[in-house]
Structure 1
Amino acid sequence: MSDFNTSEVKISTFFLIGIPEMEHIHIWVSIPICLMYLVAILGNCTIIFFIKTETSLHEPMYYFLSMLAFSDLGLSISSLPTMLRIFLFNATAISPDACFAQEFFIHGFSAMESSVLLIMSVDRFIAIHNPLRYTSILTSDRVIKTGLIFAMKSILLVLPFPFILKRLTFCKKSLLSHSYCLHQDVMKLACSDNRVNVIYGFFVALTAMLDLSCIFVSYMLILKIVLGIASHRGRLKVLNTCISHISAVLIFYVPIITLAALHRFSKSVLPVIRIIIADVFLLVPPLMNPIVYSVKSQQMRNLILVKLCEKQH
């Protein structure tokens, strides 16, 4: 009887990971995770609802905010099933097709959020550079068309991911590095040639860096305008209109750049650190963006307070 070659057996199930060596406290970890998901989904749905129903919020800035809330909502819903299964039930198994579908949605909504943050930086530049023509430049039609174009760009950009993963052969390793599926994580498990995945993944990462570079350029131009304002109070007033967006950019990009750097350059980092940063990348932006914008936007804050007071009466 010939020896059975295990290296030729194709893997039919991947295994996600919670917090290594801390499986006994997963049920306790699931409580804050559930609360974060609940607040994130409720907060983003609230923002979308108010912007849709309140005519006073039918302005370019709030349209873009609703796009940001939609992408945050998508990120939360895409990652919620596997994370809650792991931390509530210690159920780590996931089929390859489900894994590929999840990474498509996670990367898709991440690309969409990156694009929206870029559009919002241009929106802030136009509002500060040419405030009198702001509404005539960013009309409702242009805002909707811009949003649709960038959403389509994001979908088309990550559409190849599931297909170039499906062509790979997985036969030796099945343990992933996170609580959800990422393209760069899954492709490392392949025992066949994954050069196409590496090259295309690098190309997608470059587009995200291009978005960040354009945001940086927008703020350099904004800073130039601000420095040209004579009064100190005027400078602070203009910069105050950008604080929410700057916070959203930092909340989104700092974890994703850190995670990408750890994946590509660091082999000695403890797995638990990589896992925590990966979870922060998906949990914190959808949670914090509605809070930041609700606190900083007086118009949005007042509307929410009015609605709450009406319910209490």
Structure 2
Amino acid sequence: MPTVLGFEGSANKIGVGVVRDGAVLANPRRTYVTPPGTGFLPGDTARHHRAVVLDLLQEALTEAGLTSQDIDCIAYTKGPGMGAPLVSVAVVARTVAQLWNKPLLGVNHCIGHIEMGRLITGATSPTVLYVSGGNTQVIAYSEHRYRIFGETIDIAVGNCLDRFARVLKISNDPSPGYNIEQMAKRGKKLVDLPYTVKGMDVSFSGILSFIERPCARIHAWVWSLSLAGDQSHLAQSDRADGTQRGLQGNMRLQEMMETMCQERGARLFATDERFCIDNGAMIAQAGWEMFRAGHRTPLSESGVTQRYRTDEVEVTWRD
């Protein structure tokens, strides 16, 4: 039963998780929150991560009731993500691995989400709707790869919502997306927005340009944008084959997906905010699967990459 410690720090959240044989032993995290109307810059985010990562490491070990001797492998997010935050956390992971004399594993961030979703929900082979700040993809496993059947052709819906939140100076605490979802509940009139679904791909750059114009009826616009994003994902997912769908985050989107799945004889699998928001345990879980399958990352190859596609990784731990 290998025990894997995972570091995640690809964006404004940093987490350290510990996983052993399908059990999450610890999963503390911190979020870098900026003032309303502002985003998080790579350098500032990296400084935040460096300031808290060692405390999180100790917290994770204490919560799990383990010492360094109990850890079999160190996993970290190799990408995709923001360059400076990725580097700041990778340096810590490499250092810890060398100090503790443990093997190192670079993990694809998106696959971390997938493997955590499979672990928590029990879905064996889901068609995954992966929606986050930097990614919008429909994914399914086939022949040792997580294949991307549809994705955004420009920006992700999370980035679209974040940009809109900055225009309206919506609070970033706990996250712009969450606060937009709460504001959307007070909307009553839909505004016709030009969202685009092309086959199984989606586009959000046009809708972003359209909504950045001044508007006094804020709740109507927030509701319309939020619903348009959900509807585009619904249409995108509906065109994917598969009887299971993994879904994370947004509660209304989950409700819409649940209805769609019931109408088509499919099952919906969804996680809660403990595991769908970026966290260290998801990197540890993907690392656990990789470690058991014989994967290792040599120190000479233990860098990071901002562009690391889900379908680049050979998934040797399945089948």
When normalised by structure 2's length, the TM-score is 0.32
The answer to which structure has the higher helix fraction is 1
The answer to which structure has the higher strand fraction is 2
Compare CA radii of gyration and give the structure with the larger one. Answer: 1
When normalised by structure 1's length, the TM-score is 0.33
